[in-house]
Structure 1
Amino acid sequence: MAKMRTRDLILEVALVLLNERGESIVTSVDLAHEMNISPGNLYYHFKGKEEVVEELYAQFHATTLIALQEIASQARGDTKETLAGLSVISDILQQFKFISQDLLGLHERYNSLRDSIQKLLFLLSQTITGLVGLVMDRAKVTDSSNAAKLLAGNLLYTLIHFGSYNDLLGIESQDATIEEHLYLHFLPFIDD
């Protein structure tokens, strides 16, 4: 088995640390200390924490785009398939928890990420609106365009803020999973 490159290891450890503590708390020195390397070794691979965050955001962005393309290409208006697709997005948001739980903060602190964050949120919103529209069409809901957009907004809000809500309440073992919350949005469209 090939040994992991130091740069990749830094990103892996940084993702864990940033998810645990949050981007605004973690410093470059914290990253170096967590890896048992000198800050100079970290700076050899990245100019600072900002570059690490930008690289992790690029991974998040790419992973999300691939998932959205796959989900949209397979969309047929089936409620269960739509929920499965939204669960994939939820998993990505959880994998990059430090991003999803501080989108506004990252948007404010990282000029280099602003356009990308806005474009990704717009694409998430558009894709989810399309998925909901297909579900509503299949359920023969009339005049559903505005309802689809509103429901998609609620779904996106749930996807992004679910983890933060539980963290703020100090809920370790959740009474309800994200999947159950998403499912509730689709109750009117479930026919079996």
Structure 2
Amino acid sequence: MTTRERILETAIELFNDQGTKAVTTNHIAAAMGISPGNLYYHFRNKESIIRAIFEQMHEVGTREYLAINAERGPGTAESMFETFVMIQRFNWRYRFFKRELTALVMSDPQLGELFLASHRTNLAMVDAALERSIHQGFLKPMEEEVRRLLAEQVWLVTLFWLNYLEVGGEQVTDASLIRGTDHLQLILEPYLSDAARMAVQENNKRGPTRH
């Protein structure tokens, strides 16, 4: 692992434990056992570290999403529900960003631009997945406007499920993360084809996302 990668990993750990306001670049350098000057060689300030972490988040999330689609098939029930659980576990790894999302993107215009681009990309991925599901007969045909609204509903639950658990004082566990898939199924249920309902029932029996 390079020094730059170690800085990011250490920052993620400290931010998760203490929040970004309580952690300075000196704290990060001290935790790593390097000089502040060494850290500044790689990052100008704490804001640049947070931006680099977010870029890592986007790259990792996209790579894992594509891997699930390659294994489970794009637009299938298995890929949809497994993606949901993957994102929740992903969000837990970067939980400081989830907790401070609004404050972080509002206080740093550059980070705000990065987040907006990532948000639009992810929402487009959800919409594309729904469109594939319609073509494959997993979902019933629907108007484009309805599909886009459905994509927003799915993305809202996916994006903020972890926040809901924490704000509600609920312990974040595999069971509570996976429970979000039940909400996802309720959102999609009115749009499922008969064949899809059978596939979802089989998926629930096998529990592929419950490992």
Tell me the TM-score normalized by structure 2: 0.73
The Cα of 1:174 is off from its aligned counterpart by 4.8
Alignment check: 8 A CA contact 2:166 2:172 kept: no
What is the distance in 2 between the residues matched to 1:89 and 1:175? Answer: 12
| Corresponding residue number in structure 1 for 2:9 | 12
CA contact (8 A) 1:32 1:39 kept: yes
Q: Within 2, Cα distance between the matches of 1:144 and 1:93?
A: 32
Structure 1: segments with no counterpart, 5+ residues: none
Question: 2: CA distance between counterparts of 1:170 and 1:34?
Answer: 30
Amino acid aligned to 1:30: H
- Please name the residue that 1:132 is paired with: 130
Rounded to whole Å, the distance in 2 between the matches of 1:119 and 1:180 is 29
SS in 1 for 2:75: coil
* Aligned pair partner of 1:83 in 81, 84, 93: 81
Q: What is residue 153 of structure 1 aligned with on the other side? A: 152
Deviates more, 1:142-151 or 1:103-112: 142-151
Task: Indicate the residue corresponding to 1:186 in structure 2.
Answer: 185
Unmatched runs of 5 consecutive residues or more in structure 2: 202-211
Q: Over residues 103-135 of structure 1, what are the superposed CA-to-partner deviations in whole Å (9 max), with x where a residue is unaligned?
A: 322221222222221111011111112223333
CA RMSD of aligned residues (A): 2.7
Deviations 1:53-79, CA, capped at 9 Å, x for gaps? 122122112222333444566644321
**Structure 2 partner of 1:35:** 32
Is the 2:157–2:184 Cα contact (8 Å) retained in structure 1? no
Output the CA distance in 2 between the equivalents of 1:85 and 1:150: 19
CA distance in 2, matches of 1:139, 1:58: 33
Rounded Cα–Cα distance in structure 2 between residues aligned with 1:55 and 1:78: 33
Amino acid across the alignment from 2:111 = L
Q: Please, which of 55, 65, 71 is the counterpart of residue 58 of structure 1?
A: 55
Contact 1:68 1:124 (C-alpha < 8 Å) held by counterparts: no
Aligned-residue sequence identity (percent) comes to 23
Change in Cα spacing, 1:75 to 1:144, as seen in structure 2 (3 Å) is: farther
Q: Per the alignment, in what secondary structure is the counterpart of residue 113 of structure 1? A: helix
1:22 matched residue in structure 2: 19
In structure 2, relative to structure 1, the CA distance for the partners of 1:55 and 1:175 (3 Å cut) is closer
> 2 CA distance for matches of 1:87 and 1:175?
9
